[in-house]
Amino acid sequence: TQDYHFGLEEGEGISELFDCD
Amino acid sequence: PPQTPVRAAMNTIQQLMIILNSASDIPSDNLLFYFNNCTVNPHESIVKRVENMGIIFKNKFAEAVGQGCAEIGSQRYKIGVRLYYRVMESLLKSEEKRLSVHNFSKLLNNDVFHISLLACALELVMATYASRNASQNVNVETDLSFPWIINILDLKAFELYMIVESFIKAEPSLTREMIKHLECCEHKIMESLAWQSNSPLFELIKQSKDREGQADEPEPANY
């Protein structure tokens, strides 16, 4: 995965992205 | 020795098979543990959705490629579902660790979450097999390349975009080719698909502006 540009910030995960935190 | 396109494609398929060899067609015990921990148990709705999406996928695949290939579509879908359940379990494990939460009722009862996760898994499976056929100049598939999968599953492009990074993080066994393909999908989405008129992106932008209180300021002319 070293080529992939991870952009999610600290504290941003699938729960926040789908508004389910 | 340097990889030929055929070898690279075959390696990717082999890797997918290795990943999914031990994966299950139905939710694992770990997943059932999470389901049972939910305020509203999503197990039934998840299995039902997989069935319904399966019928849509197989019909659309057969429509696109030909009725004679219906069984191929069925196989592709089955592999996609295994990857879907496997990544879902991994996502929940990492969320559990990150948030110290055990009740994922809201997330696991969120339709868009499941369809985007399933679409991402299916897109990966479709791309893996398509790249093999392309490298062998076999023209079996009509254009089932991205964004075919989000169109048939009636998913907004930005909704798929939201899952890609977490999907890649949750499945460390993806090959370089697989990751490159998902990144390419992300680029297509952000370059054009996410800006189509019915995209949820506009609502998110509006919400973030409202949140920042910018709504009441007059917009600078250069907007």
- ipTM of the shown complex: 0.86
Cα(B142)–Cα(B64) distance, integer angstroms: 6
Q: Quick count: other Cβ atoms within 10 Å of Cβ B140?
A: 14
Distance of alpha carbon B189 from the chain centroid:
13
Q: Are B54 and B152 in contact (CB under 8 A)?
A: no
Q: B154 or B221: which carries more pLDDT confidence?
A: B154
Inspect the interface and report whether the beta carbons of B166 and A3 lie closer than 8 Å.
no
Q: Are B205 and B125 in contact (CB under 8 A)?
A: no
Nearest to A15 among B95, B112, B176 (CB): B95
Structure tokens at B33: 């543990």
pLDDT, position B214? 61
Cα(B200)–Cα(B78) distance, integer angstroms: 29
Cα(B145)–Cα(B148) distance, integer angstroms: 6
Number of inter-chain CB pairs under 8 A, A vs B: 51
Cα(A17)–Cα(B170) distance, integer angstroms: 15
Q: B77 or B177: which carries more pLDDT confidence?
A: B77
On whether any CB of chain A is under 8 Å from the CB of B190, the answer is: no
Calculate mean pLDDT across residues B116-132. 90
Inspect the interface and report whether the beta carbons of B174 and A1 lie closer than 8 Å.
yes
Cα(B35)–Cα(B43) distance, integer angstroms: 6
Cα(B58)–Cα(B77) distance, integer angstroms: 7
Inspect the interface and report whether the beta carbons of A17 and B94 lie closer than 8 Å.
no
pLDDT greater than 90 at residue B74: yes
Least confident of A12-21, B106-115, B130-139, B200-209: B130-139
Looking at chain B, the whole-number percentage of residues with pLDDT higher than 90 is 62
Contacts of B114 (CB under 8 A, 6+ apart): B46, B49, B108
Give residue-wise pLDDT tens across range B32-73.
999 999 999 999 999 999 999 999 999 999 999 888 888 999
Calculate mean pLDDT across residues B78-90. 96
Report chain A residues whose CB lies below 8 A from the CB of B162.
17-18
pLDDT greater than 80 at residue B81: yes
Which residue in this structure is represented by tokens 């082999």?
A: B14
Inspect the interface and report whether the beta carbons of B180 and A3 lie closer than 8 Å.
yes
Kindly list the distances between the CA atom of residue B86 and the CA atoms of B51, B94, B117, B205, in Å, as whole numbers in the listed order: 17, 13, 11, 32
Nearest to B107 among A5, A8, A15 (CB): A15
pLDDT greater than 70 at residue B26: yes
Instruction: Work out the minimum CA distance from B67 to partner chain A, whole angstroms.
Output: 37
Question: Residues in chain A whose beta carbon is closer than 8 A to a beta carbon of chain B?
Answer: 1, 3-8, 13-15, 17-21
pLDDT, position B125? 93
pLDDT, position B33? 97
Confidence of residue A5 (pLDDT cuts 50, 70, 90): confident
Inspect the interface and report whether the beta carbons of B176 and A15 lie closer than 8 Å.
no
Instruction: Work out the minimum CA distance from B188 to partner chain A, whole angstroms.
Output: 15
Q: B136 or B66: which carries more pLDDT confidence?
A: B66
Structure tokens at B200: 């949820």
Q: If we measure between CA atoms, which residue out of B183, B188, B123, B175 comes closest to residue B152?
A: B123
